């Protein structure tokens, strides 16, 4: 039969309240008393009852992480880092995905009885509109936004400077001496910020260098996947003159673009230099290896979890925006010969 709080208290010769305080991480317990309780817990192999803890504290110790697509490498790597960061704060994580679906996001935000499973939500939507976030304000569920959304002061927000990241990627191609620089990843039909901000950074870098912004060199991508990058790059390579460099709004788009260049009988980077964003592991082992804008996912995960824990502890704490660092990692897909 599993050990109980009473069993631990009897073995440690302390009160049940003291055992509960130690298990709950309450700070004001003497080191001597805490050591006795922890020793008794180890001897009895005691496991706290999560249902009892929820009834006692009103908290589950669970966070929800909502991402667009868990099989996209960037989001799976982010999920790994969130799980690690949450464990440091004493939380566990349950992961769900939206699949780019507005109704799915609506369901996960409003949640109904499901929200009782979680103490807070880390939400990384790609297609969320303002009215969906308004719905969350009626649920009182602590929420931290991940990704490149405009910060309006209502919700904690952890992201990169997307405009600057795209600018730096394009500037790298310009510094190589490339002048016909294309971009893959625009999504003009969507209202969310990521593709808009990356387009802004791309165009601003071209203008600063005195390079005309050519609409034919900008290609949309319905999703940020290899096939979308491949199709867009094939269209770009059919132009006359064809681009001599391509900035892709994600590493997966860049992977597809590199394949299209090779299938056209051309080479990377001699004929077409390619850069992406994300620094997924695949790009470090592709041939050629992929130059990319590296996003600090451990930084993003740590600060996102820290913000949601602070909001759980104090729902009235002021919302903050945290901007993660980024850097251009030069690899073979743009390296000078």
Distance in Å from the first CA to the final CA of the chain:
69
Backbone angles phi, psi at 36, to 5 degrees: -60, -45
The pLDDT assigned to 26 comes to 61
Q: What confidence category does residue 147 fall into, taking pLDDT thresholds of 50, 70 and 90?
A: confident
Which of 210, 273, 282 lies closest to 244 in space, CA to CA? 273
pLDDT for 132 equals 60
Protein fold of 5-57:
434 Repressor (Amino-terminal Domain) (1.10.260)
Position 7 confidence tier, pLDDT thresholds 50, 70, 90: confident
Among 93-102, 205-214, 218-227, name the one with the lowest average pLDDT. 93-102
Q: What is the pLDDT of residue 148?
A: 63
Higher pLDDT, 54 or 192: 192
Output the pLDDT for position 187: 84
Segment 131-158 mean pLDDT: 73
**Residue that is written with structure tokens 């051309």 in the block:** 266
Which residues make up the CATH 3.40.50.2300 domain(s) of the chain? 62-160+296-324, 162-295
pLDDT tens, position by position, 158-216:
988 999 999 999 999 999 999 999 999 998 766 567 888 899 999 999 999 999 999 99
**162-295, what's its fold?**
Rossmann fold (3.40.50)
- Residue 12, pLDDT > 80, answer yes
What are the residue ranges of CATH 1.10.260.40 in the chain? 5-57
Which residues have CB under 8 Å from 77's CB, separation 6+?
280, 281, 297
Does the pLDDT of residue 135 top 80, yes or no? no
- pLDDT band of residue 302 (cuts 50, 70, 90) is very high
Q: CATH number of the domain at 62-160+296-324, please?
A: 3.40.50.2300
Residue whose C-alpha is closest to residue 275's, from 264, 283, 266, 285: 283
pLDDT digits (tens, 9 = 90+) for 17-46: 787 777 666 666 788 888 888 888 888 887
């Amino acid at each position: 039969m599993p050990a109980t709080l009473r069993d631990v208290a009897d073995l440690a010769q302390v009160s049940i309240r003291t055992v509960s305080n130690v298990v709950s991480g309450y700070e004001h317990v003497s080191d001597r008393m805490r050591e006795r309780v922890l020793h008794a817990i180890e001897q009895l192999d005691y496991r706290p009852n999560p249902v009892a803890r929820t009834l006692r504290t009103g908290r589950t110790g669970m966070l929800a992480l909502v991402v667009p697509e868990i099989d996209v490498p960037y989001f799976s790597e982010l999920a790994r880092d969130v799980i690690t960061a949450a464990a440091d704060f004493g939380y566990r994580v349950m992961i769900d995905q939206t699949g780019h679906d507005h109704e799915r996001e609506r369901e996960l935000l409003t949640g109904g009885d499901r929200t009782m499973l979680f103490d807070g939500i880390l939400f990384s939507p790609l297609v969320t509109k303002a009215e969906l976030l308004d719905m969350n304000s009626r649920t009182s569920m602590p929420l931290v936004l991940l990704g490149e959304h405009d910060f309006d002061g209502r919700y904690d927000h952890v992201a990169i400077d997307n405009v600057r990241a795209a600018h730096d990627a394009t500037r790298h191609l310009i510094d190589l001496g490339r002048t016909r620089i294309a971009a893959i990843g625009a999504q003009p039909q969507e209202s969310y910020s990521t593709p808009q901000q990356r387009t802004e950074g791309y165009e601003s870098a071209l203008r600063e260098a005195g390079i005309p912004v050519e609409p034919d060199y900008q290609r949309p991508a319905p999703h940020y996947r290899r096939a979308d990058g491949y199709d867009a790059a094939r269209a770009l390579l059919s132009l006359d003159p064809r681009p001599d460099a391509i900035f892709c709004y994600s590493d997966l788009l860049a992977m597809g673009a590199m394949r299209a260049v090779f299938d056209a009988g051309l080479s990377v980077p001699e004929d077409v230099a390619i850069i992406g964003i994300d620094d997924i592991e695949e790009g470090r082992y592709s041939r050629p290896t992929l130059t990319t804008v590296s996003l600090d996912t451990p930084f993003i995960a740590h600060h996102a979890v820290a913000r949601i824990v602070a909001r759980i502890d104090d729902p009235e704490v002021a919302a903050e925006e945290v901007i993660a660092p980024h850097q251009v990692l030069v690899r073979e897909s743009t390296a000078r010969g």
